[in-house]
């Protein structure tokens, strides 16, 4: 029976050795889980950085578009004001010339003078109306451009909020 006792002792020694291997395997498995979690966190960080760069690029595009719209709006307003002022000045000059011409015609014929004066007045009123219409069109264009600026500003604000949210995620 001593062989059985020796065999039992040998099996107990092997079991103790295998228990150490089990502890080592559990430790390696824990290390692997931590390594996987670190890799996943790194991948998430890289994704957030790419999203951050994309949002920054969108913000830059929105800012450039906003500047372009504002520049265009300012130019349209300037052009419309210049055109309206030129039309009004031209109408005044024509009106003054017509009045002068009318005064000269008055010496010739009172009846003809009245007709010329009425025609001149009607013509001057029509030109002033055209100038006012041109000014109204310019103001309408300016309003449309102001609305476009507001839309771009809203988009820029939304992009800034996205950027802030991304920054908060990265923090």
120, 65 contact by CB (below 8 A):
no
SS3 label, residue 109: coil
> Rounded to an integer, what distance in angstroms lies between the CA atom of residue 89 and that of residue 134?
14
Neighbours of 46 (CB within 10 A): 10
Tell me what pLDDT residue 107 has.
Answer: 61
Give the pair of three-digit tokens for residue 142: 């300016």
> Rounded to an integer, what distance in angstroms lies between the CA atom of residue 146 and that of residue 25?
69
Report the number of distinct structural domains present in the chain: 1
> Which residues span the domain enclosing 63?
2-170
Tell me what pLDDT residue 112 has.
Answer: 67
> Rounded to an integer, what distance in angstroms lies between the CA atom of residue 51 and that of residue 49?
5
- DSSP string for 107-132: HH-HHHHHHHHHHHHHHHHHHHHHHH
Q: Would you give per-residue pLDDT tens digits along the chain (171 residues)?
A: 578 788 778 778 887 777 777 777 777 777 767 777 678 878 878 887 888 888 888 888 878 877 887 887 778 778 877 887 888 777 788 777 877 877 666 566 666 667 777 787 888 877 778 777 877 777 787 788 788 788 888 888 888 888 888 888 877
């Amino acid at each position: 029976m001593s062989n059985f006792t020796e065999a039992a002792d040998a099996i107990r020694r092997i079991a103790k050795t295998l228990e150490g291997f089990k502890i080592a395997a559990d430790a390696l498995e824990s290390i692997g889980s931590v390594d996987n979690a670190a890799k996943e966190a790194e991948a998430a960080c890289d994704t957030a950085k790419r999203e951050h760069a994309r949002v920054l690029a969108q913000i830059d595009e929105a800012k450039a578009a906003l500047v372009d719209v504002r520049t265009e709006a300012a130019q349209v307003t300037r052009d419309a004001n210049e055109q309206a002022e030129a039309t009004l000045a031209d109408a005044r000059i024509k009106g003054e010339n017509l009045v002068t011409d009318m005064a000269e015609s008055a010496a010739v014929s009172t009846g003809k003078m009245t007709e010329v004066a009425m025609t001149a007045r009607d013509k001057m009123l029509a030109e002033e109306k055209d100038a006012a219409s041109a000014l109204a069109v310019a103001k309408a264009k300016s309003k449309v451009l102001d609305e476009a600026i507001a839309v771009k500003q809203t988009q820029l604000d939304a992009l800034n909020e996205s950027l802030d949210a991304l920054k908060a995620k990265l923090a």
